[in-house]
Amino acid sequence: MQSLNIAFSWFLFSLLFVGTQQILLTSKCSCYDRTTDCSFRQMLAIQGRDLCSQTSTWKLRGNTLRQLPQNRFSGKLDLSKNEFGLNKRFWINPEPLSELDASDNYFSDLSFAKPVWDCSLSVLNVSNNRISILDKTLDRCRSILVFRIANNKLSRLNDDSFSKQELLQFLDLAGNPLKSISPKTFSAQKRLLTLDMSNTHLSDLPVGIFSELTLLQHLHLSGSNFTKLPTSVFSSLKSLVTLYLQRNAIRELQPGIFDSLFQLKVLDLDNNQLQHLPPTLFHRLHSLEHLSARSNHLRTLPSLRLCSAPLRIALFSDNAITAVDEDDLRALWRPGFQLADITNNPVESCSFKWANSSPDINVFTEGSLVKIGMEVMDRGIIWIQN
């Protein structure tokens, strides 16, 4: 009798367990504020009855979906973190959509979102897939403003890669193994504001690559294989505010390469192989606030005497600087200046006569660390460590 009770208990438990799993796998989505939320529901499939009516935002991320009911989606659709693309027959009509997030799936191309007629898609995210080519799939989607295609398998960009996306304002190509790029790749993107080409395999940039990007404000070129850059490569970027060139293998920068960047506020040259910076390299950067050239092979502190910019932060740590010129230090110190970091350099000599003679500057030492603090100018600090 006892064994029968035990067996019956196990039977009830198994029914409860299976029933619970069934509920988890087929549970209806949450409906609120014109939103259907099916995120992270362990759903293997989704049926039309699971979807809410009068929905303009669809959240289906974090499941194991491979197919969708057709002609049910409009507005904003999030398909990220699923298994779309494993089924080659999957297709979603982008024409009624304004935003589509298909990141973190298994797509090898963009044919899954090929429209039959013109579409009104403004945001498209296909990052973290397996896309290796850009064909003419999106030629009918000419209203895209934000296009994220980072961390895919693109190796080449051609003249017509983005030729129909003339309204683009944000383009993310980071993390693709790019090896070649056409000089006219971005010729149609006259409204582009942000371009991210970081962490690619590019070793050089063709002349004229940015010639049409006169409104560009943010350019990311970090983490690639650049050893040198054409002198005129940035000549058209008169609206550029931030430029990231860190983690490359740049050995030298030609005088005049930054002369057109009147609006530039942030310049990052960290982790390159620079040994020398020309004396006039920064003298046309009238808006520069943050300059960083850490972890290079610089032997002298770059001269900023001709730079009239409102510089606030200058970072030159982890170089090979052996001597710091008194006038170079004085040139850094101007109203609004906050910090100059020259730590981890083999500095052999440095004069502080100008600091000792000023009533506004306090000089004190802490071990091998020399700090100079100016109370009236935002408490600026210069660090020099032997």
Q: What's the pLDDT tens digit per position in 119-169?
A: 889 999 999 999 999 988 888 899 999 999 999 999 999 999 999 999 999
To 5 degrees, how large is the angle CA 302–CA 308–CA 310? 95
The confidence score (pLDDT) of residue 380 equals 45
In three-state secondary structure terms, 8 is helix
The confidence score (pLDDT) of residue 70 equals 76
pLDDT(362) > 70? no
The confidence score (pLDDT) of residue 27 equals 52
Binned at pLDDT 50, 70 and 90, residue 349 comes out as low
Binned at pLDDT 50, 70 and 90, residue 374 comes out as very low
Binned at pLDDT 50, 70 and 90, residue 334 comes out as confident
Q: What is the mean pLDDT of residues 259-282?
A: 95
pLDDT in tens, 77-122: 999 999 999 987 888 888 899 999 999 999 999 999 888 778 889 9
How do 156-157 and 180-181 pair as beta strands? parallel
User: What proportion of the chain, given as a percentage, has pLDDT over 90?
Assistant: 57
User: How distant, in Å, are the alpha carbons of 33, 200, 228, 340, 357 from that of 273?
Assistant: 54, 18, 10, 21, 37
The confidence score (pLDDT) of residue 355 equals 57
pLDDT in tens, 51-70: 787 899 999 999 999 998 87
In three-state secondary structure terms, 174 is coil
Give just the sign of the alpha carbon dihedral 84, 85, 89, 91.
positive
pLDDT in tens, 169-200: 999 999 999 999 999 999 999 999 999 999 99
pLDDT(363) > 80? no
Conformation bin of residue 108: beta by default, left when phi > 0, alpha when psi is -120 to 50: alpha
Binned at pLDDT 50, 70 and 90, residue 22 comes out as very low
- CA–CA distance, 164 with 41 (Å, rounded to integer): 37
Q: What is the mean pLDDT of residues 254-258?
A: 95
Binned at pLDDT 50, 70 and 90, residue 318 comes out as very high
In three-state secondary structure terms, 25 is helix
The confidence score (pLDDT) of residue 328 equals 74
pLDDT(17) > 50? no
Q: What is the mean pLDDT of residues 224-229?
A: 95
The confidence score (pLDDT) of residue 358 equals 56
Give the lowest-confidence range in 17-26, 299-308, 343-352. 17-26
Binned at pLDDT 50, 70 and 90, residue 299 comes out as very high
With a CB cutoff of 8 Å and minimum separation 6, the contacts of 230 are: 205, 207
Q: Which domains does the chain have, with CATH numbers?
A: 238-352 (3.80.10.10)
- Nearest Cα neighbor of 165 from 184, 187, 188, 181 is 188
Q: What is the mean pLDDT of residues 301-317?
A: 84
Does pTM top 0.75 for this prediction?
A: yes
In DSSP terms, which residues pair with 35 in a beta bridge? Answer: 32, 57
Long-range contacts of 53-57 (CB under 8 A, 24+ apart): 55/31
- CA–CA distance, 232 with 74 (Å, rounded to integer): 45
With a CB cutoff of 8 Å and minimum separation 6, the contacts of 347 are: 321, 322, 323, 324, 384, 385, 386
- Please state, rounded to an integer, the average pLDDT across all residues of the chain: 84
